[in-house]
């Protein structure tokens, strides 16, 4: 109770409130503009969070991403261009609804279901995280090693361009993480004599490069840099008749929230995958599955709830174990580390009030989605008419100043440029970027826990299976690793009969 | 499929070999089985093997282990608005501008440097001169003031220092 009161006191701080407000507006704007993703919004936000206290910075990231994911539905519905990847699953459906004159219903139902999904995920986070943390207090380096393995493996496995591409991306991230002084012995690795690289590759400039600069490069090379969007129709009355609609499809809201949260909690998978899967489950269990794709709200409601629920769920492993579930929480974990706060079960004892304050921010941000989302939909035609060249110039300016501001060195602007080009080249070659971030964040965790464990166990690898929880986690990891192997073997054995991958429909 | 995946796979595979060679030279800690070179060797091996697999699988595209229905068939963005030609000029300027920024940061100063880089960038994307100039100078000065005064980031004044900026 005392903690709760203390938490209330923390979020009543004007700095926190103003931060949440500004971050929300920023998130809505970025989310509503196609080509700018929630991850990019977070990356651009990080240099700002550097000057805030830990609570404000986490609050800013939470509010910004929740708003961005929801605002991403707007251009999808109006122009058939998803604002963020998380909306891509049901973009066609909402656009068909708009064509049928149901645009208000499409936006209204995705907004309201987003709020419900987000709230559900936040409540699960509030309830599950502290009790999981109590279990995690007994974890040693053996368990943490396996947790890091699970996070990394899932990131590679769910990669949409194939697991080989995902694995490659992961190894690149892990390699980047090894640059600098080795934590155990202090010997410099891959620094090539550079003093600036001794401390490792700076995280923030690398991220800004990978998510913002690469996006600018992409739009320049694909000729979309000057593209103007068609003027969308004005949508009003989005809340009209929404409550009966939501209650008619309450099973979808519930299923979307539950599946979304679970997928979010799984390391490596976030809101966009949750949306794809729940859109598919909505269709599978629907009584009117033939209506899907013709402008039917059912899938939109389920997937709309799921992507916001996934966003909240991803914070469970991030806060409890320090093992992030997606690119956004990976960035958040990085921010907390920079502030000298190590996410993990101890945090629930030492910083209980702050954590409860973070949970409350989740609830507030999701409730604030209703008025903010309404405003964003009203302002949609204005937001979408922002000229692209000017927008890109301003983004570029913030990239440069943001990369510089973290360590006040020009070297970091170079890091940003190099990573921007690297990420652009990799995505042109079909290699995803998100696993790199997880590799960078989880790499040190993986290595430290491995080396610590081996020092304890005197180099005996079987020690990783000797503690009960570690053993279970270890077997789970081995099973995960066997999925691609088994599927490869099956593919070879059924080579003649046109082998197909396992399909989740 | 284009040549890009093959090239990327091949380069990453070579990088893996390089990483292994470099990691072998790292010191070992006496009395311990796993030293600072252990993880880099594993990572190098991973890059070497999977880079090669990726390069060789170009002909027969690898499919996701878990295929999500509908994924990959994202709505065609180019359907309604015809994409324009690539902006090679703006791209070249962007890279040159950033490299120039790195080298002239202290001497030229933030406001001057950024104004020029951004103005030219926008002009190359078809924005009118006065408009581009106005947007870049205004946004640069606002950002400069914000970071210097409120966030205390030492952005260089450079050539404009006599103006008391």
Q: For residue B2, what pLDDT is reported?
A: 62
Find the mean pLDDT for residues A408-437: 91
Instruction: Decide if B136 touches A, using CB distance below 8 A.
Output: yes
pLDDT higher at B124 or A486: B124
Give the residue-averaged pLDDT of A307-324: 89
Q: Which residues of A touch B82 (CB under 8 A)?
A: none
Q: What is the C-alpha to C-alpha distance for residues A217 and A433, in angstroms, rounded to an integer?
A: 15
B95 and B145 part of one domain: yes
Whole-angstrom distance, CA of residue A201 vs CA of residue A158: 26
The burial class, CB within 10 Å (0-12 / 13-18 / 19+), for A462 is exposed
Q: Are B39 and B93 in a shared domain?
A: no
Chain B residues in contact with A480 by the CB 8 A cut-off are: none
Residue A172 has pLDDT above 50, yes or no: yes
Shortest distance, CA B105 to any CA of chain A (angstroms): 7
The pLDDT of residue B76: 43
Q: How far is A318 from chain B (nearest CA, A)?
A: 24
Q: Which chain B residue has the Cα nearest residue A282?
A: B69
List all residues of chain B from 67 to 126 with a beta carbon under 8 Å from chain A. 67-72, 74-75, 77, 79-81, 83-87, 90-91, 94-95, 98-99, 101-102, 105-106, 110, 114, 117-118, 121-122, 125-126
In a domain, B39, yes or no: yes
Contact at CB, B98 and A413, closer than 8 angstroms: yes
Q: What is the CA radius of gyration of chain B?
A: 25
Maximum CA extent, chain A: 69
Q: Residue B78 domain-assigned?
A: no
Q: Is residue B144 part of a domain?
A: yes
In this predicted model, what pLDDT tens digit does every residue of A31-78 receive, in sequence order? 888 878 888 888 888 888 878 888 899 899 999 998 988 888 888 888
Angle, CA A212 vertex, CA B152 and CA B130 arms, to 5° = 75
Residues of A in contact with B126 (CB under 8 A): 226, 389
Question: Among A56, A180, A188, A401, which would you mutate to test the B interface (most chain B Cβ atoms within 10 Å of its Cβ)?
Answer: A401
Q: β-strand A188-189 against B66-68: which pairing, if any?
A: unpaired
Query: Least CB-CB distance to B81: which of A89, A227, A394?
Result: A227
Query: Does any domain span residue B71?
Result: no
CA distance to partner chain A, nearest, from residue B61 (Å): 9
Chain A residues within an 8 Å CB radius of B66: 157-158, 501-502, 504
Q: What does the pLDDT look like over B47-77, one tens digit per residue?
A: 999 999 998 886 555 444 444 444 444 444 4
pLDDT (0 to 100) of residue B135:
93
Domain for residue B80, yes or no? Answer: no
Say yes or no: B99 and B50 in one domain: no
**Mean pLDDT score, A285-294:** 84
In a mutational test of the B interface, the residue from A99, A145, A164, A405 whose CB has the highest number of chain B CBs within 10 Å is: A164
Q: Do B67 and A226 lie within an 8 Å CB cutoff?
A: no
Q: Locate A7 and state its tokens.
A: 């938490």
Q: Which residue has the higher pLDDT, A482 or A120?
A: A120
> Is B101 part of any domain?
yes
Contact B72 A389 (CB under 8 A): no
Contact B75 A81 (CB under 8 A): yes
Query: How many Cβ atoms sit within 10 Å of the Cβ of residue A132?
Result: 18
pLDDT on residue A171? 94
Q: Report CB contact under 8 Å: B151, A161.
A: no
Whether residue B93 is found in the same domain as residue B51: no
Is B62 in contact with A89 (Cβ distance < 8 A)? no
Residues B54 and B116 reside in one and the same domain: no
Strand (E) or helix (H) holding A417: helix A411-428
| Residue B158 C-alpha, separation from nearest chain A C-alpha, in angstroms | 14
Q: How many domains does chain B have?
A: 2
Burial A286-309 (b: 16+ CB within 10 A, else e): beeeeebeebbbbbbbbbbbbbbb
Interface A–B counts its CB contacts (< 8 A) at 242
φ and ψ of B66, to 5 deg: -110, 115
Q: Does the distance separating the beta carbons of A429 and B9 come in below 8 Å? A: yes
**For residue A204, which of A361, A339, A69, A354 has the smallest C-alpha distance?**
A339
Give the closest-approach CA distance of B162 to chain A in angstroms. 22
Read off the pLDDT of residues B69-98 as tens digits, 9 standing for 90 and up: 444 444 444 344 455 678 888 999 999 999
3-state helix, strand, coil in chain A (%, to 5): 75, 0, 25
CB A422 within 8 A of CB A157: no
- Flag whether B77 is in a domain: no
Q: Cα dihedral sign for A281, A252, A264, A79?
A: positive
For the record, the structure tokens of B82 come out as 């015809």
- Per-domain residue ranges of chain A: 2-486
Domain residues for the domain of B30 are 4-64
């Amino acid at each position: 109770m005392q903690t709760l009161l203390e938490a209330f006191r923390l979020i009543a701080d004007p700095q926190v409130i103003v931060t949440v407000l500004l971050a929300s507006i920023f998130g809505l704007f970025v989310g509503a503009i196609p080509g700018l993703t929630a991850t990019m919004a977070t990356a651009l936000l990080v240099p700002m969070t550097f000057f805030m206290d830990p609570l404000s910075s986490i609050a800013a990231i939470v509010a910004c991403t929740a708003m961005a994911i929801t605002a991403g539905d707007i251009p999808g519905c109006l122009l058939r261009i998803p604002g963020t990847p998380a909306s891509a699953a049901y973009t066609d459906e909402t656009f068909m609804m708009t064509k049928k004159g149901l645009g208000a219903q499409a936006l209204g139902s995705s907004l309201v279901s987003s709020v419900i999904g987000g709230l559900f995920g936040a409540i699960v986070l509030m309830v599950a995280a502290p009790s999981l943390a109590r279990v995690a207090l007994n974890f040693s380096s053996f368990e943490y090693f396996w947790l890091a393995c699970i996070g990394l493996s899932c990131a590679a496995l769910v990669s949409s361009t194939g697991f080989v591409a995902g694995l490659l991306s992961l190894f690149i991230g892990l390699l980047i993480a090894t640059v600098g002084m080795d934590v155990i012995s202090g010997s410099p690795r891959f620094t090539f004599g550079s003093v600036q690289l001794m401390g490792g590759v700076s995280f923030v400039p690398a991220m800004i490069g990978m998510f913002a600069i690469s996006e600018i490069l992409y739009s320049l090379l694909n000729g979309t840099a000057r593209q103007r969007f068609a003027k969308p129709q004005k949508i009003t009355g989005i809340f009209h008749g929404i409550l009966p609609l939501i209650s008619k499809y309450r099973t979808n809201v519930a299923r979307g929230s539950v599946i979304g949260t679970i997928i979010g909690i799984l390391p490596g998978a976030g809101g966009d995958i949750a949306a794809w899967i729940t859109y598919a489950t909505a269709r599978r269990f629907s009584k009117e599955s033939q209506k899907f794709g013709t402008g039917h709200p059912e899938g939109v409601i389920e997937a709309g709830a799921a992507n916001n629920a996934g966003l909240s769920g991803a914070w469970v492993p991030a806060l409890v174990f320090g093992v992030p579930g997606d690119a956004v929480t990976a960035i958040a974990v990085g921010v907390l580390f920079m502030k000298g706060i190590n996410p993990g079960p101890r945090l629930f004892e030492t910083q209980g009030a702050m954590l409860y304050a973070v949970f409350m921010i989740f609830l507030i941000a999701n409730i604030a989605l209703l008025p903010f989302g309404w405003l964003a939909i009203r302002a949609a035609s204005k937001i979408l008419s922002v000229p692209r060249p000017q927008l890109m110039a301003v983004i570029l300016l913030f990239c440069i100043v943001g990369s510089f501001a973290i360590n006040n060195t020009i070297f970091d602007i170079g890091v940003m440029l190099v990573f921007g080009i690297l990420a652009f080249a990799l995505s042109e070659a079909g290699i995803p970027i998100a696993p790199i971030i997880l590799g960078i964040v989880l790499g040190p965790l993986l290595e430290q826990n491995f080396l610590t464990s081996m020092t304890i166990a005197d180099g005996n690898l079987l020690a990783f299976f000797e503690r009960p929880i570690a053993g279970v986690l270890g077997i789970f990891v081995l099973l995960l690793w066997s999925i691609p192997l088994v599927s490869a073997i099956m593919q070879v054995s059924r080579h003649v009969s046109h082998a197909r991958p396992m399909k989740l429909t | 499929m284009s040549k890009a995946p093959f090239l990327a796979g091949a380069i990453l595979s070579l990088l893996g070999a390089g990483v292994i060679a470099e990691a072998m030279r790292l010191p070992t800690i006496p009395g311990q089985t796993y030293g600072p070179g252990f993880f880099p060797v594993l990572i190098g091996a991973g890059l070497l093997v999977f880079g090669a697999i990726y390069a060789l699988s170009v002909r027969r595209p690898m499919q996701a282990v878990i295929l999500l229905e509908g994924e990959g068939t994202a709505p065609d963005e180019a359907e309604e608005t015809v994409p324009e030609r690539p902006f090679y000029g703006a791209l070249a300027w962007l890279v040159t501008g950033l490299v120039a920024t790195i080298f002239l940061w202290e001497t030229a100063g933030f406001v001057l440097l950024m104004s020029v880089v951004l103005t030219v960038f926008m002009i190359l994307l078809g924005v009118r001169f006065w408009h581009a100039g106005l947007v870049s100078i205004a946004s640069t000065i606002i950002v400069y003031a914000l970071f210097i005064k409120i966030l205390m980031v030492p952005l260089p004044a450079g050539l404009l220092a006599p103006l008391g900026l």
